[in-house]
């Protein structure tokens, strides 16, 4: 991946000559390829005296130094943050052998470094040695789905502050361009990594280059979102970027251009997040006004503070996405089931249809990847799955109680810290460092040329041993993913909580009963109250349910008065529906408008759909697409369940009833084993008298829906 193009990332500012004697530096560069896979390059930079006509010019005679660089490149995946320190120590050891002239073969050390085996995720600690009297310990995290942040998140908040980091967080989630500036390459890498850690459980899928070389600055003009870091010496090159949010890590500022609008978190979550972050970052604030403040306030270490900040954002995502599994649907028109998220239903049930931030997040690529990765009902679960399933009610109950909130944050922080540090610190770590001030020596030999044959022989020997060793395999613990509590917030579009009283619902039921019993005088008396009740979602759902009961009783053919009453109630029900149909009212009415009808004359029948066509929801192609998928699912469900079994199965395997396939238990087990990769038993057999839908039938339905 890096190949010849890796040189700019090893020296992002270019290969330069310096008159000063500078100490060695270390940083990690990252590049995202076209397949969204990240490639890492650990760079250890030092300086050598320039040779003129074969003669090394010493410092005292007006010579100059040129950059030299030791690099380790590769695709490290979840181990990227874990391996930064061992790679820094290993490259530093190579430099120590060179600069102090130790009697150790560089080829042997480099060969051992290239053939070092990294332990699998959740495995035991592994002690390695490069053959120079060193001893290093590598420990991978317990769960590789949780990001490893070390101290990077806490450092980002110290550099920019709470408000600025929240701006960057919202900008990243809503797919804006973000540029970090700093005079430190390592700070650029840490800041970018910290921002990605805050986004968990979402994963950033756009361009991610924490250190952008000088030769590639034109990438900043790309029209797609990105998270990029640039050295501050190129700050003048960024002045003309009109749509990029620029964060200056050294100055502690975030500049948002006038033409860029960043949607912020919805209230009260924004204020609650700020308060929680203040409790973690500034514990003295809570006791600043006390007449008798405590003598000592326990402050967390930097690493633990890092995890406490991440715990605040983990709680935030659990509150934002609570109940998301109740809005997952299965699309079965493809050879393999595809999981789809019903965004309109989620926003409608949360009462956030007009919230700009959450709407953009749900439409973004990060959330699409979230649904693809976490939508399956049978997979390994992590801390977020447990939090959103079991802790949402606790977080709701603890709102306003700062002590309980802080206690919960510390509990989550302990789990995050334990994931990164599963074993206590050990004292057996030993790596030799160079003599202090060694870079100031006047007569230092240039870095020797390595014997490639010796290095390759060491690699071949180690590879032969690895081929005979049993492979390290980590068994994944898969289980049914818990759905958590359903979405409990019942909010109207104006944001006010309105619960339709039982009396209003009873009025709706009575009016519909009078209409179908031809008691038109009684129906007219109740009709104004019914129209007022239709402002509430519960009353609209009640109307669809009552009308559906009459369709089942073969009472869909109406006289003229009955038809007019039903049409007026349907239109009143639909007039408050948006194009998204977030409450599912139009979806519930769709089969009814094709059922209710009246006879105009012999041979001429008017159906209800001809009188309710003026509503915006019918123009939304996403609505018809969702209805088609639902229709296919209902037909497949009918192959395996009769009505009694369907009413009995409220929930299967932690998935919501509306999102689950309603097959028999054997069929659901069959699908689970397909997802789990095990050999399934024979598939379930449809009920007698039913035939599975053919591909041609599905295509014909799709064509009818499109037309």
pLDDT tens column, 337-368: 888 888 888 888 787 878 889 999 999 999 99
Q: For the CA atoms of 198, 202, 205, 209, what is the dihedral angle to 10 degrees?
A: 10
For 484-519, b/e burial (b = at least 16 CB within 10 A) is: beebeeebeeeeeeeebeeebbebbbbbbebbbeee
E strand segments, 346-434: 378-379
Note the pLDDT of residue 466.
Answer: 77
Note the pLDDT of residue 63.
Answer: 47
pLDDT beyond 70 at 659: no
The enclosing H or E element of 706 equals helix 695-706
- Local confidence band at 679 (pLDDT 50, 70, 90 cut-offs): very low
pLDDT beyond 90 at 412: yes
Note the pLDDT of residue 473.
Answer: 65
Contact 632, 624 (CB under 8 A): no
CA dihedral over 297, 301, 306, 310, signed as positive or negative:
negative
For residue 598, count CB atoms less than 10 angstroms from its CB and return exposed for 0-12, middle for 13-18, buried for 19 or more: buried
The more confidently predicted of residues 142 and 63 is 142
CA–CA distances in Å: residue 529 to residues 69, 417, 497, 548, 550: 80, 58, 20, 21, 21
pLDDT beyond 90 at 114: no
The more confidently predicted of residues 283 and 118 is 283
pLDDT beyond 70 at 92: yes
Note the pLDDT of residue 27.
Answer: 85
Tell me the three-class secondary structure of 130-147, residue by residue: CCCCCEEEECCCCCCCCC
Note the pLDDT of residue 656.
Answer: 35
Cα 279 from chain centre: 25
Provide, rounded to the nearest whole percent, the portion of the chain with pLDDT above 90. Answer: 22
Note the pLDDT of residue 681.
Answer: 43
What is the arithmetic mean of pLDDT over 246-275? Answer: 92
CA–CA distances in Å: residue 359 to residues 130, 145, 346, 401: 52, 25, 10, 29
Tokens 């529906």 found at: 577
Provide, rounded to the nearest whole percent, the portion of the chain with pLDDT above 70. Answer: 79
Tokens 């302990």 found at: 414
What is the arithmetic mean of pLDDT over 32-60? Answer: 68
- Local confidence band at 623 (pLDDT 50, 70, 90 cut-offs): confident
The more confidently predicted of residues 333 and 382 is 382
pLDDT beyond 50 at 183: yes
- In angstroms, the CA 597 to CA 590 distance is 13
Cα 227 from chain centre: 15
- Which candidate, 579, 529, 580, 573, places its Cα nearest to that of 548? 573
- In angstroms, the CA 229 to CA 371 distance is 29
* Angle (nearest 5°) at CA 696 between 695 and 702: 90
- Local confidence band at 76 (pLDDT 50, 70, 90 cut-offs): low
- Which candidate, 459, 448, 450, places its Cα nearest to that of 114? 459
The more confidently predicted of residues 329 and 651 is 329
Assign 39 to helix, strand or coil: strand
pLDDT per residue over 476-490, tens digit each?
788 888 888 877 543
- In angstroms, the CA 567 to CA 549 distance is 17
* Angle (nearest 5°) at CA 496 between 172 and 506: 135
pLDDT beyond 60 at 187: yes
Q: Identify whether 114 is preceded by a cis peptide bond (ω within 30 of 0).
A: no
The more confidently predicted of residues 105 and 663 is 105
Contact 131, 482 (CB under 8 A): no
Beta-bridge partner residues of 17: 66
Radius of gyration of the chain (CA): 32
Note the pLDDT of residue 196.
Answer: 94
Assign 182 to helix, strand or coil: strand
Tell me the three-class secondary structure of 56-85, residue by residue: ECCHHHCCCEEEEEEEEEECCHHHCCCCHH
| Residues of the chain by 3-state class (helix, strand, coil), percent to 5 | 50, 15, 40
Note the pLDDT of residue 674.
Answer: 43
What is the arithmetic mean of pLDDT over 47-55? Answer: 62
pLDDT beyond 50 at 696: no
Contact 277, 306 (CB under 8 A): no
Beta-bridge partner residues of 181: 230, 248
Q: Which two tokens stand for residue 315?
A: 């709680």
The enclosing H or E element of 703 equals helix 695-706
The more confidently predicted of residues 698 and 532 is 532
- In angstroms, the CA 197 to CA 574 distance is 43
The values of phi and psi at residue 138, to 5°, are -115, 130
Q: Identify whether 201 is preceded by a cis peptide bond (ω within 30 of 0).
A: yes
Note the pLDDT of residue 642.
Answer: 60
- In angstroms, the CA 395 to CA 195 distance is 24
- In angstroms, the CA 313 to CA 276 distance is 10
- Which one-letter DSSP state was computed for residue 603? T
- In angstroms, the CA 347 to CA 350 distance is 5
Q: Share the mean pLDDT of the chain.
A: 79
Low-confidence winner among 374-378, 412-416, 694-698 (lowest mean pLDDT): 694-698
The enclosing H or E element of 704 equals helix 695-706
pLDDT beyond 60 at 668: no
Cα 691 from chain centre: 41
For residue 43, count CB atoms less than 10 angstroms from its CB and return exposed for 0-12, middle for 13-18, buried for 19 or more: buried
pLDDT beyond 50 at 71: yes
The more confidently predicted of residues 135 and 642 is 135
For 86-119, b/e burial (b = at least 16 CB within 10 A) is: bbbbbbbbbbbbbbeebebbbbbbbbbbebbebb
Tokens 């690699």 found at: 459
Q: Which two tokens stand for residue 440?
A: 């100031």
pLDDT per residue over 141-172, tens digit each?
888 888 888 899 999 999 999 999 999 999 99
Neighbours of 266 (CB within 10 A): 17
Note the pLDDT of residue 276.
Answer: 94
- In angstroms, the CA 610 to CA 34 distance is 50
pLDDT beyond 80 at 240: yes
Note the pLDDT of residue 170.
Answer: 95
pLDDT beyond 80 at 37: no
For 674-695, b/e burial (b = at least 16 CB within 10 A) is: eeeeeeeeeebeeeeeeeeeee
The values of phi and psi at residue 253, to 5°, are -125, 155
Low-confidence winner among 217-231, 261-275, 319-333 (lowest mean pLDDT): 319-333
Neighbours of 37 (CB within 10 A): 11
pLDDT beyond 60 at 65: no
The more confidently predicted of residues 705 and 335 is 335
């Amino acid at each position: 991946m890096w190949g010849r193009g890796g040189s700019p990332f090893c020296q992002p500012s270019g290969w330069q000559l310096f008159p000063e004697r500078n100490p060695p530096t270390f940083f990690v560069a990252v590049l995202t390829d076209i397949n969204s896979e990240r490639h890492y390059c650990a760079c250890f930079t030092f300086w050598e005296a320039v040779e003129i006509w074969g003669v090394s010019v010493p410092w005292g005679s007006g010579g100059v130094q040129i950059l030299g660089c030791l690099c380790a490149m590769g695709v490290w995946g979840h181990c990227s943050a874990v391996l930064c320190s061992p790679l820094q120590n290993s490259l530093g050891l190579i430099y120590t052998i060179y600069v102090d002239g130790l009697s150790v073969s560089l080829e042997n050390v480099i060969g051992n470094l290239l053939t070092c085996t990294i332990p699998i995720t959740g495995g035991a600690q592994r002690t390695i040695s490069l053959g120079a009297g060193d001893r290093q310990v590598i420990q991978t995290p317990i769960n590789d789905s949780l990001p490893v942040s070390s101290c990077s998140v806490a450092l980002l908040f110290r550099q920019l502050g709470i408000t600025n980091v929240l701006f960057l967080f919202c900008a990243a989630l809503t797919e804006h361009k973000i540029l970090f500036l700093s005079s430190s390459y390592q700070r650029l890498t840490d800041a970018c990594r910290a921002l990605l850690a805050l986004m968990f459980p979402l994963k950033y899928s756009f361009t991610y280059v924490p250190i952008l070389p000088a030769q590639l600055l034109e990438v900043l003009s790309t029209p797609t979102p990105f998270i990029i870091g640039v050295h501050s010496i190129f700050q003048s090159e960024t002045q003309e970027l009109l749509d990029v949010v620029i964060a200056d890590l050294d100055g502690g500022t975030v500049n948002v251009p006038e033409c860029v609008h960043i949607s912020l978190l919805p209230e009260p979550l924004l204020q609650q997040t700020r308060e929680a972050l203040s409790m973690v970052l500034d514990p003295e604030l809570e006791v600043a006004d006390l007449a008798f403040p405590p003598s000592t306030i326990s402050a967390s270490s930097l690493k633990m503070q890092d995890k406490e900040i991440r715990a605040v954002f983990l709680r935030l995502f659990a509150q934002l996405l609570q109940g998301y599994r109740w809005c997952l649907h299965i699309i079965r028109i493809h050879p393999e089931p595809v999981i789809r998220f019903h965004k309109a239903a989620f926003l409608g049930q949360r009462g956030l249809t007009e919230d700009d931030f959450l709407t953009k997040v749900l439409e973004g690529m990060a959330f699409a990847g979230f649904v693809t990765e976490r939508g399956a009902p049978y997979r390994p679960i992590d801390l977020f799955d447990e939090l959103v399933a079991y802790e949402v009610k606790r977080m709701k109950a603890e709102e306003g109680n700062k002590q309980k909130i802080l206690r919960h944050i510390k509990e989550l922080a302990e789990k995050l810290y334990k994931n990164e540090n599963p074993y206590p610190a050990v004292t057996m770590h030993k790596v030799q460092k160079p003599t202090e001030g060694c870079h100031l020596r006047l007569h230092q030999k240039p870095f020797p040329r390595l014997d490639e044959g010796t290095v390759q022989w060491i690699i071949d020997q180690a590879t032969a041993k690895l081929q005979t060793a049993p492979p390290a395999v980590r068994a994944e613990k898969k289980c049914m993913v818990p759905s958590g509590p359903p979405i409990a917030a019942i909010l109207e579009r104006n944001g006010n909580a309105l619960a339709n009283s039982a009396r209003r619902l009873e009025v709706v039921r009575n009016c519909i009963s009078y209409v179908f019993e031809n008691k038109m005088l009684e129906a007219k008396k109740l009709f104004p109250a019914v129209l007022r009740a239709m402002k509430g979602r519960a009353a609209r759902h009640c109307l669809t349910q009552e009308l559906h009961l009459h369709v089942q009783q073969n009472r869909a053919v109406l006289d003229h008065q009955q038809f007019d009453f039903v049409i007026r109630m349907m239109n009143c029900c639909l007039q408050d529906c948006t194009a998204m149909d977030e409450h599912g009212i139009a979806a519930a009415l769709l089969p009814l408008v094709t059922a209710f009808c009246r006879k105009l004359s012999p041979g001429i029948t008017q159906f209800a759909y001809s009188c309710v066509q003026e509503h915006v929801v019918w123009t939304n192609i996403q609505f018809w697409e969702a209805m088609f998928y639902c229709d296919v699912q209902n037909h497949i469900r009918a192959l395996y369940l009769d009505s009694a079994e369907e009413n009995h199965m409220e929930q299967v395997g932690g998935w919501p009833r509306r999102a689950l396939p309603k097959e028999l238990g054997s069929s659901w087990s069959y699908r689970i084993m397909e997802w789990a990769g095990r050999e399934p038993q024979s598939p379930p057999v449809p009920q007698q008298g039913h035939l599975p839908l053919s591909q041609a039938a599905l295509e014909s339905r799709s064509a009818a829906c499109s037309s």
